[in-house]
Chain A
Amino acid sequence: MDIFIQQLVNGVVLGSIYALVALGYTLVYGILGLINFAHGELVMVGALVALSVVRTLSPLLPGLPGWVLALLGTAVAAGVCALLAILIERVAYRPLRHAPRLAPLITAIGVSIALQNLAMVIWGRQYHSVPPLLPAASHQFAGAAITEVQILIVALAALLMAGLIGLVHRTRLGRAMRACAENIQVAELMGVNVNAIVVAAFVIGAVLAAVAGVMVSANYGLAHYHMGFLLGLKAFTAAVLGGIGNVGGAMLGGLLLGIMESLGAGYLEDLSGGFLGSHYQDVLAFFVLILVLVSRPSGLLGERVGQRA
């Protein structure tokens, strides 16, 4: 039983990480219908920028407590990511807003490759170990171990999701965003400044990416120029599972994917009589995804059936 609870906790933590990244995906997708493949790379940039800030500041201000440093690092990272996102939107996506649907997908891949290699030039090829700035003490919780960083991740994911839902449904900006999501041309006719809304979505997404980057690197203790790609892919899968474009769906999809991977690794071997081991955890995750999408073609919480061909 302890083991089961531990697996569940593992899944929730992993799922919250996916959710943190998936929120950024889903926000941009909801408005533009664009898979921002480069979002995972923003997570990577966020982690590495924050690390650089911490490395430069910690010898200068020796007395500073770790969490203040981490906060400063996150703030700078968020700023850098936001600027980067504005630049990307401006240069790579905006000129293609009316182009065939797959064109921006290709530019997104181009941005992703370019960012990765730029990061390689700046931060080098090696894996960076991230200093333990955030409290990482392990706690027992119903027989399962969970560290403070992990609790923070779960709390942050929930908090940011709630915040985003509030933003989308309670504010003027949110209403404009929903209008754009519904129909970008009509929204424009109604006087919504579409470009500003899109930029806002990218900036919020970038800030989320920076936060996610810092949390991921703090949890695993490492940062690397290649860390964003796979994470981004998993998060995108989570967003689709939950119903892409839906903020709550990103959270739900993330949690589900995390728990599925965790339980898959833990119990697939016993369930399949020893035939399938933990190396098939991704197979299980994708299999469930296919099942979900076959019965609900637009994800768990997705409403619109896209008519995009």
Chain B
Amino acid sequence: MKRRWTLWIAYALLAAALAALPFLVEQNLGRTWVRTLDFALLYIMLALGLNIVVGYAGLLDLGYIAFYAVGAYAYALLASPHFGIHGPFWALLPLGAMLAALFGALLGAPTLRLRGDYLAIVTLGFGEIVRIFLNNLNAPVNITNGPQGVNLVDPIRLGNWSWGRSQSWLGVEFSSAQLYYYVFLALALLIILASLRLENSRIGRAWEAIREDEVAAAAMGINTRNIKLLAFAMGASFGGVSGGLFASFQGFVSPESFGLMESITVLCMVVLGGMGHIPGVILGALLLTLMPEVLRHTIVPLQKTLFGQVVVDAEAARMLLFGLALIWAMQWRPAGLWPSPTRRRELARRQQPEAGP
């Protein structure tokens, strides 16, 4: 009884902290950091989506950003002057998620037999195909507006309340970045909750079984085809939601936001944090979104004093440190920074006799 009490207090404190965070950040660090925080939340959603495919089902996906792109474009095309359609966000976000899920199943279907690195290269190709189509479908019929991108995408709007500009409520002034923070936070929590539920469900256990031994899983009566497709579709739908949010937040989408490097970045978040472990994945997403920005803020000011006689170029140094940090982190914690307890135990056991792949 007492433990439950402390648990609730902890939750309440956490909720209060999360609610107050954008204000504390804006006051002490500036609005840039609220924006960074927004992107961090967006990447948490993306990373959790990819975590379903890579972490739970063990399917290496290098084209995950395609689903993000599908969600973003679905929202942008249906809520912008491009087609003159201005759909409401509460209809477009689920639509984007469903469309992305459809694409996920579409990708999954032909790749069911593939494993490991062969799957990686096919998913990579799929991601590129989606990007190339988005980039080129401005002729003969202009659908995506090609490389020019879709501009003036509607912000999230409810009645007269628009997330695109500052609003005051109960005498408190909320900036656009802060308003989006709460939407992103709500959806991120929803996705975390969904991930948690999935992890402990029949489906979650089936994914785990496939990850560990596909042949054995099939022998146990798991319909590996459907379960794999479900993993792709589920993961993709999370990507679709975050894509729609991205489009409304940025107000502009163009194909260059959905390149291969983005897919790789999200994969790095999942693996670095700890595949299959939700807190780990969240940590990975937070770290990899915040670190380049922290480095930007710490290295650049130092360079300011240099002018002219730059010893090591700050921008290069920032990315160089980022690369080295990736290497170092994986050596320090090969299973990720915060791996799931079961994974860690397995790894410790595997270390000894029959190692590696």
Contact = CB atoms under 8 A, between A and B. Distances in A.
Do A and B contact each other directly (Cβ–Cβ < 8 Å)? yes
Interface of A: 29, 33, 35, 91-92, 95-107, 109-118, 120-121, 184-185, 233, 236-237, 240, 244, 274-275, 277, 279-280, 282-283, 286-287, 289-290, 293-294, 297-299, 305-309
B250 to A, nearest CB: 25
A309 B211 contact: yes
Taking chain A's interface residues, is the majority helix, strand, or loop, or is none over half, making it mixed?
A: helix
B306 interface: no
A93 to B, nearest CB: 10
Given A280-B136, A286-B126, A286-B128, A184 B356 contact: yes
Given A110-B325, A118-B320, A279-B132, A233 B118 contact: no
A106 B115 contact: no
Contacts, number: 167
B182 interface: no
Given A98-B356, A100-B275, A309-B115, A282 B132 contact: yes
A185 B140 CA distance: 57
Contacts of B267: 102, 105-106
A100 B115 CA distance: 16
Contact of A297 (B54, B115, B319): B115
Contacts of B212: 309
B107 to A, nearest CB: 10
B262 interface: no
5 contacts: A103-B271, A120-B316, A277-B136, A308-B116, A309-B213
Most chain B CB atoms below 10 A, which of A96, A244, A309: A309
Nearest to B211: A309
B83 interface: no
Most chain A CB atoms below 10 A, which of B125, B136, B272, B350: B125
Contacts of B140: 274-275
B123 to A, nearest CB: 10
Interface string B111-134: 101111110111011101100110
Given A101-B356, A308-B115, 8 more contacts: A100-B334, A103-B330, A118-B316, A121-B312, A121-B316, A236-B121, A290-B110, A306-B117
Contacts of B111: 290, 293-294
Contacts of A95: 331
B121 A120 contact: no
A105 B111 CA distance: 21
Interface in B143-185: none
Nearest to A274: B140
